[in-house]
Structure 1
Amino acid sequence: MNVLALEPYYNGSHRAFLDGWQSRSRHQWTILGLPCYKWKWRMRHSAVTFAEKVNQQLTDGHHWDAIFCSDMLNLAEFLGLVSPHLRQLPTVVYFHENQLTYPDRHQQERDLQFAFTNFTTALAATGVWFNSRFHQDSFLEGLRDFLSHMPDYKSLELVDSIEAKARIYSPGVDTFPVRKPRKPGPLRILWAARWEHDKDPDCFFEALKLLQQSGADFRLSVIGPQFQQIPSVFELAHEHFSDYIDHWGYQQSRSQYEAALIKADVIVSTAQHEFFGISVVEAISAGAYPLLPNRLAYPELLGGANTDEFFYDGSPEVLTKQLISLTEHISSKNDIWGGNPDRARTKVARFQWNTVSSILDNAFVSLVDHHIQ
């Protein structure tokens, strides 16, 4: 099957998803991507830009059996601008995030046009895929709430039609090698989220201050992507914990990023918002012990029996208590796993690309076959 993939924000997790799938897929792919720049502008213009590119490729003799895009594309607008032949093809939109429930510190300034773009894209698509059940449920709930506040023609029944074609397909992660025996030393703590307020860095650094006050020894790596406006707490924390830091800032290469994950003993999240948690899954796959707030998509990642040890209530106080416990295990036994280092890794093994790519390939074939019938 020949697939046309359109990605207005071809970088970061969006690019990793497409490249990871395409490189293992049994389908043939044409990927059209735009650089990671000015996301609002990308959502505004990408339908027009891609329509021009795709129409030209059709003229040059290219053909496809299906279209795949991310939530950043105005799919309805794109389909209105391309050759009638393309409008007949089955389409899938993959929601990495959405503009209905994505946190905005300045809620009164939220541009509702982007939320409506997500709505019309979901309506236009043959299949609507989400990276987690939490994401799907919060989007549909947010969409119903969003439309209910419109002055008239609320179209609430259309949300049911979107729900009927919604499916959950997680992204994949690369396979990490089995860790070598741990070198003695303090507990190595990793924070690998975006440097933004919705990841609640204040909670994380407050917990570390409490850990520091307890007298526990530890090392610290704070990595993850950064943008122009970085919360001031990071600069303050960099100064405060300067004697504890191993890695600080975005890791410029994949090898540097993976090295930081493999070195970490524990991956901590304090997120108030997370649709999936790819860096957490990668860190666990690399052998890190997870400490996660018991909310958002995290219970899906490590769901099932015997996982309570990996969760906390979201407060810095309880997070600190669990970190203290881990430092005690490290200092006494140089081990935090009690002899079973695969307890968390086995829970996320289903997210490895070798498994996920086949699931995605089969899902696409099923959708196309159903569309043809």
Structure 2
Amino acid sequence: MSVLLIEAFYGGSHKQLMDLLQEELQDDCVLCTLPAKKWHWKARTAALYFMQTVPTSTNYRFMPQHKLARLEKIIGVKRNGDAYPLEDLPGQEKSRTLGGLMRNSKAHRESGLCEAQPGLHTTQREDLPSPLRALARLNKSDASESTNPCQEEEEDKQHLTFNISNILSGEDYQQRPLHIAWPHRWEHDKDPETFFKVLLKLKEKDLPFHVSVLGEAFTEIPDIFSEAKKALGSSVLHWGYLPSKDDYFQALCMADVVISTAKHEFFGVAMIEAVYCGCYPLCPKALVYPEIFPAEYLYSTPEQLFKRLQNFCKRPDIVRKHLYKGETAGFSWAALGGKFRSLLAAEPREDL
């Protein structure tokens, strides 16, 4: 078996899954990626980039014969990986192919899509259209820059092992304030505005709580983060991305409640990880969450979220004594590993 893994958003939980599959499949796995930036552009145009850079191999082109024939005709690629001269294509096909490449190359220039990362298993072919080659070279330098703009601010902290238990060591466990965790990307689709609005309302009511904002930041950070950090003041226990998984899980283990305010979520790995670490989850009654979490852990409006947290701030022992009522064993690699292997080893079908 030889498996080609393509990931246009190589970061966070996406990266975690790709790395796990590559580790488990070892030599049978080829990984091609793009950095975790500009999600909306990746969704639109990443296919063009991968079409030009993924090395051709008969071992993993899970495509029926009729589609392979069509692919040969449209993009001028033989099944042995060589390119047909565009002049050999019919006039209309040639025009459409060239026009599509130029239009999408312009989109690449405007979006910064073609961000090849050094060290990844992506083969950069020399037959790329010149705008794509130039972008690939330029973005090698981009990839070396930090994806966390807060790194300079947090630089001194990152040289120390994060140990939140040291911060809390002087407080009796049951007497300390409720500790709320928000372990999501610092982007608008995770709706940080709603999260911080609820927290600031708690603070206005003089309710005691601590908060750890643990998600990863990228190039463009919503203004609400700097505003909220200043407004929350001493309630902030930790602010910023923890590159060490051990430190990250330790922070989750010390938290009482984990919250999602996401407006876009296919699964929510961060929430499941937090539940494994003993956190009480509060999620929107929408998206994928009702399929994973029992009704007790769902809220419908920000007002409901505020009321739940208000009660927990007054009685943090409620969540500290709580035993999670959902099932998590089915999300482990022990349960899913065999299914992934069976799926990736499946024979190609004509209805793909």
| TM-score of the aligned structures, taking structure 2 as reference length | 0.62
User: What SS class does the counterpart of residue 315 from structure 2 fall into?
Assistant: helix
Query: What's the CA shift string for 1:316-343, capped at 9, x where partnerless?
Result: x21111012222332xxx35154x5242
Q: 8 Å contact 1:24–1:354 — kept in the other structure?
A: no
User: What SS class does the counterpart of residue 64 from structure 1 fall into?
Assistant: helix
User: What SS class does the counterpart of residue 189 from structure 1 fall into?
Assistant: strand
Q: 8 Å contact 1:292–1:311 — kept in the other structure?
A: yes
Distance 1:32 1:361 in 2: 19
Question: Which residue is 1:238 aligned to?
Answer: 229
Question: Which residue is 2:79 aligned to?
Answer: 84
Question: Which residue is 1:64 aligned to?
Answer: 59
Question: Which residue is 1:228 aligned to?
Answer: 219
User: What SS class does the counterpart of residue 190 from structure 1 fall into?
Assistant: strand
Higher-Rg structure is 2
Query: What's the CA shift string for 1:46-76, capped at 9, x where partnerless?
Result: 224424xx14xx5xxxx624559xxxxxxx7
Output the amino acid matched with 2:319. Answer: I
Q: 8 Å contact 2:207–2:310 — kept in the other structure?
A: yes
Question: Which residue is 1:336 aligned to?
Answer: 319
Question: Which residue is 1:141 aligned to?
Answer: none
- 1:352 aligned onto 2:332: yes
User: What SS class does the counterpart of residue 328 from structure 2 fall into?
Assistant: helix
Given candidates 304, 316, 341, the residue that maps to 1:361 is 341
- 1:183 aligned onto 2:163: no
Given candidates 300, 310, 314, the residue that maps to 2:297 is 310
Q: How many residues align?
A: 252
Q: 8 Å contact 1:291–1:312 — kept in the other structure?
A: yes
Question: Which residue is 2:167 aligned to?
Answer: none
Identical aligned residues as a percent: 32
Question: Which residue is 1:168 aligned to?
Answer: none
Shift of 1:281: 1.6
Shift of 1:205: 1.4
Between 1:186-195 and 1:207-216, the stretch displaced more is 207-216
User: What SS class does the counterpart of residue 228 from structure 1 fall into?
Assistant: coil
Question: Which residue is 1:16 aligned to?
Answer: 16
Structure 1 residues 65 and 196: alpha-carbon distance in aligned structure 2, compared to 1, 3 A threshold = closer
> Unpaired runs of 5+ in structure 1?
69-75, 87-112, 115-181
Output the amino acid matched with 1:281. Answer: I
Structure 1 residues 8 and 311: alpha-carbon distance in aligned structure 2, compared to 1, 3 A threshold = closer
Output the amino acid matched with 1:209. Answer: L
Query: What's the CA shift string for 1:79-113, capped at 9, x where partnerless?
Result: 94654168xxxxxxxxxxxxxxxxxxxxxxxxxx9
Distance 1:66 1:188 in 2: 49
Q: 8 Å contact 1:285–1:349 — kept in the other structure?
A: no
Structure 1 residues 264 and 301: alpha-carbon distance in aligned structure 2, compared to 1, 3 A threshold = same
Q: 8 Å contact 2:257–2:319 — kept in the other structure?
A: no
Q: CA RMSD in A?
A: 3.2
Distance 1:253 1:32 in 2: 24
Structure 1 residues 361 and 212: alpha-carbon distance in aligned structure 2, compared to 1, 3 A threshold = same
Q: 8 Å contact 1:6–1:50 — kept in the other structure?
A: no
| TM-score of the aligned structures, taking structure 1 as reference length | 0.59
Question: Which residue is 1:29 aligned to?
Answer: 29
User: What SS class does the counterpart of residue 274 from structure 1 fall into?
Assistant: coil
Given candidates 169, 188, 193, the residue that maps to 1:197 is 188
Distance 1:281 1:363 in 2: 23
Structure 1 residues 34 and 232: alpha-carbon distance in aligned structure 2, compared to 1, 3 A threshold = closer
Structure 1 residues 353 and 371: alpha-carbon distance in aligned structure 2, compared to 1, 3 A threshold = farther
Structure 1 residues 285 and 67: alpha-carbon distance in aligned structure 2, compared to 1, 3 A threshold = farther
Distance 2:80 2:224 in 1: 53
Question: Which residue is 1:277 aligned to?
Answer: 268
User: What SS class does the counterpart of residue 216 from structure 2 fall into?
Assistant: coil
Structure 1 residues 66 and 283: alpha-carbon distance in aligned structure 2, compared to 1, 3 A threshold = farther
Output the amino acid matched with 1:190. Answer: A
> Unpaired runs of 5+ in structure 2?
64-70, 82-106, 109-171
Structure 1 residues 313 and 266: alpha-carbon distance in aligned structure 2, compared to 1, 3 A threshold = same
Shift of 1:43: 1.4
Distance 1:343 1:43 in 2: 40
Question: Which residue is 1:262 aligned to?
Answer: 253
Shift of 1:33: 3.1
